Amino acid sequence: MTTRTRKKDIGIFMNRIRNLALSIIVSASLVGSGAVAFAKDSSALEMAKQLNEAFVEVADKVSPAVVVITVTQKANYQGGMYDNNGDEDGSSPFDSLPPQFKKWLDEQFGNRGNHGNRGNHRQQHVPQMQGEGSGIVISEDGYILTNNHVVEGADKIKVRFKNGDVYDATVKGTDPESDVAVIKIKPTAKLIPAKLGDSDKTRVGEFAIAIGAPFQLTYSVTVGHISAKGRSVGPMTPNGYADQDFIQTDASINPGNSGGPLINLYGEVIGINAMIRGMNTGIGFAIPINLAKRVKDHLITEGKFVRSWIGVGIQDLKDDTDYRDLDPKLRPDVEEGVVIRTIQRDAPASRAKPELVAGDVVIAIDGKKISTPRQLQEEVSGKKPGQTITLEVVRNHNQHLSIKVKTEALPSDLAKNDRSNRNDGTGDESTNFGVTVENVNQDSASKFDIEPNQHGVVVTAVEPGSLAEDVGIKPGDVITDVNRKPVANRRDFNQATKNADTKRGAIFNVISNGTSKFLVLKDRD
């Protein structure tokens, strides 16, 4: 090989080395620039990471104030599977169950070998039912907020913290109507309570986080949104949810979450998880924390929550289309408020000064604006029995009045079927509305169980399919006013109804079984 050839080969080799080096440098540069690009997240991804971290921080912050509540109670399902006394022959419904079901019950309730053929030793071992729920620490000294249905009928209550500490608990107070309960433990050190927020300020669409023990999976955290506020749900306890406006959420809630917190991104408790509609539907309900806060103070100090009442039937003015469709001269000059539809006889509202009249529209209580029936109910129920409140009402078209009512404790039994008083008369028929009336006198008062001095006319007959029947008027009812004009006798009634417009509707004030009612009679076509 010549020197020239070797030099040529070396030159080619060196060129290849340079080209390779250059390609490596370029590649490294590209890789490096790519690495920089991936290292720098987009603003959207950065926000997602921050939100992710927020969920983690909230869960870490609130979980120490969440407890798992284990309740043990004797199985005493009357008329069902268990009967603590057994049958007279020493048998029980448990003995007739399929073997595989009895085995499962044995495993669940620790009743192995204690069923069947008990003879004189019946019920030697009463099955123990266990359930789990959740709770929220609300004080350093051991008060815990939960659901009434979690601890109802409990023989023993155990409370377990996330760090493993376990305490015995006692019930301090329960309120079946709101499904709120307070239990108490004696901690060995000061506890860190949860921060209770303001559920009134919660907005639909906000993130919501639930913490609890669904299906015994303790300290499960689920995330969703506030789906709605002000949900009314049918009665779920023997006494019903009397004054509930539930928060609806799609954060997953399951059995065992009951009593646990629904929290916002600030780590504030905005509700107590209470119930679900179906399994895995994404429809859960929480008791607003503002209601729970009102109730808990009474439960801690008194063991119960006594509600006040004034004894009125109410409806949202915005929903009362019959009222809103009336002649402008008859309807109130307000857009929001609560219509007094009925006033119960002998209820606090019947003794208001000046008189409260069915058809009045309440726009404020003690200076606080009222625009929904729920607001009125909460304002009244939260007052102490015996406290006098001031109702600001609009009557007729533009008459504004301040009416004072002294509240009373809500009776335990509101299903009173009392008859009432007020009348004086004889008889005639209103073809427009389908009622026959007569003046109140001794005979009609005796016949319909009303007082002979009752103001108004008494209904003696109601035409089937008439407007009067549509709204529930019945014989024995007393009509006191028509379109805001007092009716003292049948002549007044005939005059008031003679030219009434059934298309637009007419207002009847009626007393039925002692309850004052405000009714709108109008064509439904």
The tens digit of pLDDT for each residue in 177-188 reads 888 999 999 999
- State which fold the 62-109+130-305 domain adopts: Thrombin, subunit H (2.40.10)
The SS3 assignment for 128 reads: strand
Q: Give the per-residue pLDDT at 375.
A: 85
Type of residue found at 513 = N
Residue scoring higher pLDDT (499 or 487):
487
pLDDT confidence band for 506 (50 / 70 / 90): confident
Homologous superfamily of domain range 428-521: PDZ domain (2.30.42.10)
CA-to-CA dists, residue 306 to 350, 410, 520, angstroms = 21, 7, 34
149 annotated active-site: yes
The percent of residues in the chain predicted with pLDDT above 70, rounded, is: 74
Q: Is the pLDDT of residue 483 over 60?
A: yes
Q: Give the per-residue pLDDT at 184.
A: 96
| Cα angle for residues 450, 455, 459 (degrees, 5° grid) | 60
Q: Give the per-residue pLDDT at 310.
A: 92
Type of residue found at 273 = N
pLDDT confidence band for 1 (50 / 70 / 90): low
Q: Give the per-residue pLDDT at 123.
A: 44
CB-based contact 444:458 (threshold 8 Å): yes
What is the length of the chain?
525
92 annotated active-site: no
2.40.50.660, 2.30.42.10, 1.10.3720.10, 2.40.30.10: CATH of 308-409: 2.30.42.10
Residue scoring higher pLDDT (5 or 381):
381
Active-site entry in 115, 149, 298, 455:
149
User: pLDDT tens digits, residue range 72-85?
Assistant: 876 553 333 333 33
CA-to-CA dists, residue 522 to 313, 321, 475, angstroms = 20, 11, 19
How are beta strands 368-369 and 361-365 bridged, if at all?
A: antiparallel
d(CA 382, CA 247): 19
Q: Give the per-residue pLDDT at 422.
A: 28
Structure tokens at 86: 């057994």
pLDDT confidence band for 34 (50 / 70 / 90): very low
CB-based contact 59:221 (threshold 8 Å): yes
- Continuous segment of H or E residues that includes residue 112: none
The SS3 assignment for 145 reads: strand
Task: Calculate mean pLDDT across residues 100-125.
Answer: 44
Q: Is the pLDDT of residue 19 over 70?
A: no
CA-to-CA dists, residue 309 to 124, 243, 350, angstroms = 49, 12, 12
Burial class (CB in 10 A: 0-12, 13-18, 19+), 339: buried
267: alpha, beta or left? (left if phi > 0; alpha if psi -120 to 50): left
Active-site entry in 175, 179, 245, 428:
179
Which residue has 């009303």 as its token pair? Answer: 450
d(CA 400, CA 332): 10
Whether 428-521 and 308-409 are alike in CATH topology: the answer is yes
As beta bridge partners, residue 210 has 222, 262
Q: Is the pLDDT of residue 90 over 80?
A: no
Residue scoring higher pLDDT (102 or 206):
206
| Cα angle for residues 231, 370, 350 (degrees, 5° grid) | 105
As beta bridge partners, residue 208 has 224
Q: Give the per-residue pLDDT at 485.
A: 85
User: Structural domain boundaries of the chain?
Assistant: 62-109+130-305, 308-409, 428-521
d(CA 184, CA 166): 13
Q: Give the per-residue pLDDT at 233.
A: 63
d(CA 149, CA 258): 8
d(CA 204, CA 3): 88
Type of residue found at 241 = Y
Active-site entry in 134, 178, 252, 258:
258
3-class SS shares of the chain: helix, strand, coil, % to 5: 25, 30, 45
User: pLDDT tens digits, residue range 432-451?
Assistant: 788 888 888 777 787 788 88
Q: Is the pLDDT of residue 4 over 60?
A: no
User: pLDDT tens digits, residue range 321-336?
Assistant: 777 777 777 777 788 8
Residue scoring higher pLDDT (11 or 407):
407
Q: Give the per-residue pLDDT at 76.
A: 52
- Which candidate, 383, 381, 361, places its Cα nearest to that of 372? 361
Secondary structure of 404-445 in HEC code, one letter for each residue? EEECEECCCCCCCCCCCCCCCCCCEEECCCCEEEEECCHHHH
User: pLDDT tens digits, residue range 202-259?
Assistant: 999 999 999 988 777 788 889 999 999 877 665 433 333 345 678 999 988 877 888 9
User: pLDDT tens digits, residue range 370-388?
Assistant: 988 888 888 898 888 999 9
d(CA 436, CA 431): 8
Rg (CA), the chain: 35
Task: Tell me what the pLDDT averaged over the chain comes to.
Answer: 77
